[in-house]
Amino acid sequence: MLRTPLLHPDILRSIARAGHHSKILIADGNYPASSKRGPLSELVCLQLSPGIPTVAQVLKPLLEILPIDHINTMGIDPSDEYALKEDPAVWTEYRAIMNEMNFKGELEPIIKWDFYQAVQSADHVLTIQTADQATWANLLLSVGVRT
């Protein structure tokens, strides 16, 4: 029996193989996970029902067990048809989790099309597809080093 807040065997297997600079995408329910991912990445679909689980619910256990150097969110291009005038509410939730978990970095947006390119790199090892219904909820984590 594992003593970890993360129990999903496929996620554990994939992150155990990840190394420094590996990328893990926690995708919302709208993200095109079948087509926008790295050539070597695995896809784990966690959609149970609309809104369950959320990206935030996946973020917290990952931060508990993994060293993470950077957390990027999909940044909003002002010309995008779904653009908002301010940060999405879900980003506030991410920042609260990052603070709670003593993450030292900042939430760093990468504009949508550059975000897709970052995800499609050979460093991308895992996509965790959630059923999060919030817009602009995607997160790209960069694995750090164990010290």
Active-site positions? 20, 69, 116
* Burial per residue of 22-57, b for 16 or more beta-carbon CB atoms within 10 angstroms, e otherwise: bbbbbbbbebebeebbbeebbebebeeeeeebbbbe
Residue appearing with tokens 């996509």: 127
Whole-number CA gyration radius for the chain: 14
Task: Give the number of other Cβ atoms within 10 Å of residue 138's Cβ.
Answer: 27
Closest among 47, 26, 4 to 136, alpha carbons compared: 26
DSSP per-residue codes, 32-60 = -TTTSS-TT-EEEE---BTTBS-HHHHHH
From CA 110, how far away is CA 72, in angstroms rounded? 6
